[in-house]
Amino acid sequence: MGAAIAQETLTAADRCDRCGARAYMRVTLPAGGELLFCAHHGHAHKDALAAAEALIQDETKNLSPTPATAPEGER
């Protein structure tokens, strides 16, 4: 896996370069340049990016789990 990097925390203004959803992964390429990915696209490409020795900042731990049902009173 690519080395973890410490950079600024991603915000809601950071968008996935693939689909435009909120970005939770920042990838710095060895030749320079940066890509932002949502959790879905970041995980889909993570192995290839790590193999290319890209530096990966993964903030997917900040995602909230989706409840299976709405809380009582919100149905």
- pLDDT in tens for each of the 75 residues of the chain? 455 445 689 999 999 999 999 999 999 999 999 999 999 999 999 999 999 999 999 999 988 777 667 667 765
What pLDDT does 1 receive? 46
SS3 37: strand
Token reading at 21: 């959803």
Whether 63 is in a domain gets the answer no
Q: How many domains does the chain have?
A: 1
Residue 58 lies in a domain: no
pLDDT at site 11: 94
* 34 part of a folded domain: yes
Q: What is the pTM of this model?
A: 0.76
For 71, half-sphere exposure in the C-beta direction (CA atoms, 13 angstrom radius) is 1
pLDDT at 74: 65
- Domain extent, residue 22, equals 7-52
